[in-house]
Chain A
């Protein structure tokens, strides 16, 4: 079945890079996503990658996809206090239907220390 796994916590020093990792099981996924959720708020789409790509960069964010190992990572360069949040990895396992479900990981809580 479909499953997305992430580590629960990550603590980094302000200014360092943060790397959040994710593994998924469904090889048919076409979209892989990273969402950010701040306390009491909804989910904000940070970035996404097509499954036929290896890397995507968007300002401070770099997404790496290893299809062979079904491993996805999100790197945040120069981590700031405003990056404190829960980061959800997610996949869309049904690419050709008119409306598909997204499978979320359990979320990684990123905390920033001074």
Chain B
């Protein structure tokens, strides 16, 4: 298995909803990442987990809450989002920080 799987592929949520994005990999990678990508822009790093511990938080608002239950799973919990949070959310993993990132196909989130 050489893939990063993200679910759901599309999500529409209201500003008062709570939802979660899920990411899974079975490559034995020990670093996992969340990126946010707005249209026609490069991905922006949000969070990095290394060995299931949060190692980088790029000053992301608290309405985004990451969770790494085990070495294969990464979640992003969403609460009280704003319309400007609408974007493609990409998960990635790597063997370690020096190795190339493998990206999932993303969750396209629309906040209404």
Which stretch (A13-21, A69-77, A87-95) binds chain B? A87-95
Nearest CB on B from A105, distance (A): 6
Q: A98 near B96 (CB under 8 angstroms)?
A: yes
Main secondary structure, interface of A, reads loop
Q: B103 near A99 (CB under 8 angstroms)?
A: no
CB closest chain-B residue, reference A109: B40
CB closest chain-A residue, reference B9: A40
0 or 1 for each of B93-112: is its CB under 8 Å from A? (1 = yes): 01011111111111010000
Which stretch (B12-20, B41-49, B59-67, B77-85) binds chain A? B41-49
Of A43, A92, A106, the most chain B CB neighbours within 10 A belong to A43
The answer to whether A92 and B98 touch (CB under 8 A), given A98-B31, A99-B48, A99-B49, is yes
The answer to whether A99 and B105 touch (CB under 8 A), given A31-B100, A48-B100, A104-B43, is no
Nearest CB on A from B19, distance (A): 19
Q: A98 near B51 (CB under 8 angstroms)?
A: yes
| Residues on B with beta carbons closer than 8 Å to the beta carbon of A43 | 43, 90, 92, 101, 103
Of B49, B51, B105, the most chain A CB neighbours within 10 A belong to B105
Q: In the assembly, what is the distance between CA of A92 and CA of B94, in Å?
A: 12
| Residues on A with beta carbons closer than 8 Å to the beta carbon of B40 | 107
**How many B residues, CB 8 Å from partner?**
32
CB closest chain-A residue, reference B107: A42
Residues of chain A in range 38-53 having any CB-CB distance to chain B below 8 Å:
40-45, 48
Q: B106 near A41 (CB under 8 angstroms)?
A: yes
Q: B97 near A100 (CB under 8 angstroms)?
A: yes
Known: A30-B98, A99-B31, A99-B48. 9 other contacts (CB 8 A): A31-B100, A40-B108, A42-B103, A44-B103, A48-B100, A98-B55, A102-B101, A107-B41, A107-B42
Say whether B56 faces chain A, with CB atoms less than 8 Å apart. Answer: yes
